[in-house]
């Protein structure tokens, strides 16, 4: 006959909370050790000094060029004839070798006119060219769908 003990028999069980605590402690320890061993290396940069000479007000460093419908070209909102575009670009480049050009076109301007102007800018050896690009909806061109507005607030 088999007799049972009056003392209940306990089974071993694994508690998960102390294991989680130990894992967080190890994670934090490894992170702290790895951060202390990292040597930050960077690229040397020559920053400008605070005592730079004042800019020459007669020297122009930026020009905005716009192409409109029909191939009309504007330099800073001043109309320029097609024959005068290249000599004017050469003059601007002679005045300032680092001149920046902002090129924009209206929605109805032809692609060929814009590319022709870009070729002239490159012929004048101007290298810093920026392009102003706007969506058709933002310019309000006819036949375009306006951007969707915000949805109404919930009731």
List the CATH number of the domain containing 109. 3.30.420.270
Report residue 148's pLDDT band, with 50, 70 and 90 as the boundaries. low
37 bridge partner residues: none
Please indicate, yes or no, if residue 13 is contained in any of the structural domains: no
pLDDT for 20 beyond 90: yes
Please indicate, yes or no, if residue 35 is contained in any of the structural domains: no
Please indicate, yes or no, if residue 9 is contained in any of the structural domains: no
Higher pLDDT, 105 or 143: 105
Please indicate, yes or no, if residue 109 is contained in any of the structural domains: yes
Contact 95, 125 (CB under 8 A): no
Tokens of residue 130, six digits? 């920026």
Range of the domain at 104: 62-138
Contacts of 109 (CB under 8 A, 6+ apart): 67, 68, 69, 71
Give the chain's domain count: 1
Please indicate, yes or no, if residue 89 is contained in any of the structural domains: yes
pLDDT per residue as tens digits for the range 119-140: 999 999 998 998 887 755 444 5
Please indicate, yes or no, if residue 153 is contained in any of the structural domains: no
Q: Give CA–CA dist 104/131, Å, rounded.
A: 6
Please indicate, yes or no, if residue 123 is contained in any of the structural domains: yes
Please indicate, yes or no, if residue 70 is contained in any of the structural domains: yes
**DSSP symbols for 51-117:** -PPPPPTTS--EEEEEE-TTS-EEETTEEE-HHHHHHHHHHHHHH-TT-EEEEEE-TTS-HHHHHHH
The terminus-to-terminus CA distance of the chain in angstroms comes to 77
């Amino acid at each position: 006959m088999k007799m049972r003990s009056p003392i209940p028999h306990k089974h071993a069980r694994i508690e998960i909370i102390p294991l989680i605590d130990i894992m967080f402690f190890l994670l934090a320890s490894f992170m702290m050790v790895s951060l202390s061993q990292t040597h930050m290396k960077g690229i040397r940069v020559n920053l400008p000094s605070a005592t730079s000479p004042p800019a020459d007000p007669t020297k122009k460093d930026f020009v905005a060029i716009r192409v409109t419908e029909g191939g009309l070209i504007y330099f800073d909102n001043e109309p320029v004839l097609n024959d005068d575009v290249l000599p004017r670009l050469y003059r601007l480049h002679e005045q300032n070798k680092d001149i920046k050009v902002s090129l924009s076109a209206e929605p109805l301007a032809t692609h060929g006119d814009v590319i022709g102007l870009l070729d002239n800018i490159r012929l004048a050896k101007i290298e810093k060219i920026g392009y102003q690009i706007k969506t058709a909806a933002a310019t309000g061109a006819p036949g375009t769908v306006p951007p969707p507005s915000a949805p109404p607030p919930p009731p």
